[in-house]
C-alpha cells in the first residue's frame, strides 16, 4: 500500500488575454486586483501578440495581447478550483463596462509543478478531470528531458517556443523556491 503524503505546494500562474485598446488603461488595475488576492507577482512576461486563433475576437477585440504572470506565494493544488471561480468573477466585473465588450479580459489560471503545467477550465472534455465548484483541471504540457512537451490537446499557443521559453523562466523561479532537484 502506498503512503499518503501531503503534496508539495505549486506555482500559481495566470495567462491574461486583453485587447490592445484596454491594455494601457486597465492592465495595472487587473494586476492590482490579482495581487490583492494572490500576493506579489514575481514574474511578468512581455506582451505577446495573440495571433493563434480568432476565437476571442468577438468578445475581446481584434488585437489581443497575452501576458503571463506568476505569483511568489505558492498554493495548494486543490486551491486552483476556487482560484478559477474567483478569476471568472474578476472577468465578469469588467464585462460590458469597458468598450461594451462582452469579455474584455480573459484570465486563465493554472499551476506549475516541476513536471507539468495544469490549467483550470469550466469546460469538461475527455482529457480533463473534475476538481470541484464546476472546475476541471487539464495537464496542458509536461516537462521531460529538459523541455516542455505537448500533448494531443495542447492549445496551439501553448505549443509555441515563446510560451515554452516563458514557462521555463517561471519554472526556474519555482525550482529555486522549492530547492528542487531533478
Q: For all residues of the chain together, what is the average pLDDT? A: 92
Q: What is the pLDDT of residue 80?
A: 98
Average of per-residue pLDDT across 49-56 = 78
Lowest mean pLDDT among 5-19, 55-69, 73-87, 144-158: 55-69
Q: Is the pLDDT of residue 129 over 90?
A: yes
The model's pLDDT over 6-24, given as tens digits with 9 standing for 90+, comes to 999 999 999 999 988 788 8
Q: Which letter does DSSP use for residue 157 in this model?
A: G
Average of per-residue pLDDT across 90-111 = 83
Give all strands (DSSP E) within 20-171, no chain letters: 41-44, 48-49, 64-71, 105-112, 116-121, 129-132, 135-144, 147-150
Average of per-residue pLDDT across 107-117 = 97
Q: Is the pLDDT of residue 98 over 70?
A: no
Q: What is the pLDDT of residue 181?
A: 64
Q: What is the pLDDT of residue 99?
A: 65
Average of per-residue pLDDT across 61-77 = 93
Question: Quick check: 118 and 135 in contact, CB under 8 A?
Answer: no
Confidence bin at 138 (pLDDT 50/70/90): very high
Q: Which residue in 97, 101, 105, 136 sits closest to 119, CA to CA? A: 136
Q: Is the pLDDT of residue 4 over 70?
A: yes
Average of per-residue pLDDT across 109-130 = 97
Q: What is the pLDDT of residue 25?
A: 84
Amino acid at each position: 500500500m502506498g503512503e499518503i503524503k501531503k503534496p508539495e505546494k505549486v506555482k500559481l500562474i495566470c495567462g491574461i488575454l486583453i485587447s490592445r485598446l484596454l491594455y494601457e488603461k486597465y492592465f495595472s488595475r487587473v494586476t492590482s486586483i490579482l495581487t490583492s488576492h494572490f500576493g506579489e507577482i514575481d514574474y511578468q512576461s512581455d506582451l505577446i501578440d495573440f495571433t493563434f486563433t480568432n476565437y476571442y475576437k468577438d468578445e475581446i477585440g481584434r488585437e489581443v495581447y497575452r501576458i503571463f504572470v506568476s505569483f511568489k506565494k505558492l498554493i495548494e493544488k486543490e486551491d486552483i478550483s476556487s482560484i478559477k471561480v474567483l478569476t471568472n468573477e474578476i472577468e465578469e466585473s469588467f464585462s460590458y463596462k469597458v468598450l461594451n465588450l462582452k469579455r474584455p479580459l480573459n484570465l486563465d489560471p493554472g499551476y506549475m509543478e516541476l513536471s507539468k503545467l495544469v490549467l483550470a477550465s469550466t469546460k469538461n472534455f475527455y482529457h480533463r478531470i473534475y476538481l470541484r465548484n464546476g472546475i476541471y483541471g487539464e495537464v496542458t504540457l509536461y516537462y521531460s528531458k529538459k523541455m516542455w512537451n505537448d500533448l494531443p490537446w495542447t492549445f496551439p499557443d501553448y505549443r509555441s517556443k515563446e510560451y515554452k521559453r516563458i514557462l521555463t523562466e517561471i519554472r526556474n523561479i519555482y525550482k529555486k523556491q522549492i530547492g528542487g532537484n531533478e
